[in-house]
Amino acid sequence: MSKALPNRPLNPRRIGVLAYHAFTQLVRMKVFYFLAIFAVIVIGANFLELPTHAAPEAAGVDVLYAIKNTSIGCMSIFSIVIAIVATGLLLPKDVEDRTLYTILAKPVPRLDYLLGKLLGVTSLIFVSMLAMDLLMTGVLALRMNSVLDEQTLRLQSFGAGPDVIAAQLSETRALGPTWNLQGAVFVVFLRSVVLACIALLLSTFSTSTLFTAIVGFLVVFIGFFQADAREMYFGDAGVLGKIGSGAMTTILPDLQIFNVIDAIIEGKPLEALDLLKITGATFFYFLVYTFCSWMIFARKEF
């Protein structure tokens, strides 16, 4: 007779099952329809005729900027909306369908339930980001090859030498689908993970998806200006200022640390140290908000 395993939390198999259920639950809500809108926007950006400020030999680079700006901007908006709304939907939906009572009636630790839901949402965001990234990379690569051909012909008509042509083409390739651009997409994903953790925390004490969504978007708004507010209130306040600044950064996420995305679009490299700091901050917020969610949800009566 096999001995029953102790009902310990953080069971990977159990969390995986709950995450798969949350993922399929969201997919059945047809959330992937936004990918069609993204495809139309990105392909449309490829045909924009923008007024160019570049030199004649660098013609076409403005369109590359437009494709990257439009794509990353859409990814940011869609990932923020999915992270907040989809996460805010899950717990009220489980209560409405009475699925939550069935799950909690079984020996499922509430921490595993929360982690499963969070992993399901982040998996959905990851798949969505991957699909958008593949589409952006494909469109950008096609357009970059076209721009490179045009620039080569133009430079040859000007009588430019091989070194000049190679230098210009190298600058243009830096604006294409580089690893730096993939780093920007990864940073967008990390930011959405933080926002999903916040939405999960809000949904543990709210039964209204609308309340979770409104407060979640307010947190996003505050997060983008949190560093300025922190500097204003605690800039020169000594030890107490540092404590207050740290508390403010913990309670409300500092979303300005994710603002390296704009610099990457302009062609600046993503430093490994910056990426490490952003990943570390994401992990910190994940631990803090998930722990707070568990503390509230563990004491909640259903």
Judge whether residue 5 has pLDDT over 60: no
The mean pLDDT of the chain is: 85
Structure tokens, 8: 């310990």
Judge whether residue 120 has pLDDT over 90: yes
Q: Which amino acid is at 77?
A: I
Sequence-separated (6 or more) residues with CB below 8 Å from residue 288: 250
Segment 77-87, tens digit of pLDDT: 999 999 999 88
What is the pLDDT at residue 235?
67
Distance CA 108, CA 147 (A): 56
Do 174 and 267 meet the contact criterion of CB atoms below 8 Å apart? Answer: yes
Distance CA 85, CA 215 (A): 11
Segment 15-63, tens digit of pLDDT: 999 999 999 988 887 777 777 888 888 877 777 666 666 666 666 788 8
pTM of the prediction? Answer: 0.88
What is the pLDDT at residue 52?
60
Judge whether residue 289 has pLDDT over 60: yes
Cβ neighbours around 206 below 10 Å, total: 17
Phi, psi dihedral angles at 260 (to 5 degrees): -70, -10
DSSP for the chain, please give it. Answer: -PPPPP--S--HHHHHHHHHHHHHHHHTTTGGGHHHHHHHHHHHHHT--PPP-S-GGGTTHHHHHHHHHHHHHHHHHHHHHIIIIIHHHHHHHHHHTTHHHHHHHSS--HHHHHHHHHHHHHHHHHHHHHHHHHHHHHHHHHHHHHHHHHHHHHHHHTT--HHHHHHHHHHHHTTSS-HHHHHHHHHHHHHHHHHHHHHHHHHHH---HHHHHHHHHHHHHHHHHHHHHHHHHHTT-HHHHHHHHHHHHHHS--GGGGTHHHHHHTT----HHHHHHHHHHHHHHHHHHHHHHHHHHHT---
pLDDT interval class at 1 (50, 70, 90) = very low
Judge whether residue 7 has pLDDT over 80: no
Sequence-separated (6 or more) residues with CB below 8 Å from residue 255: 191, 194, 220, 223, 224, 226
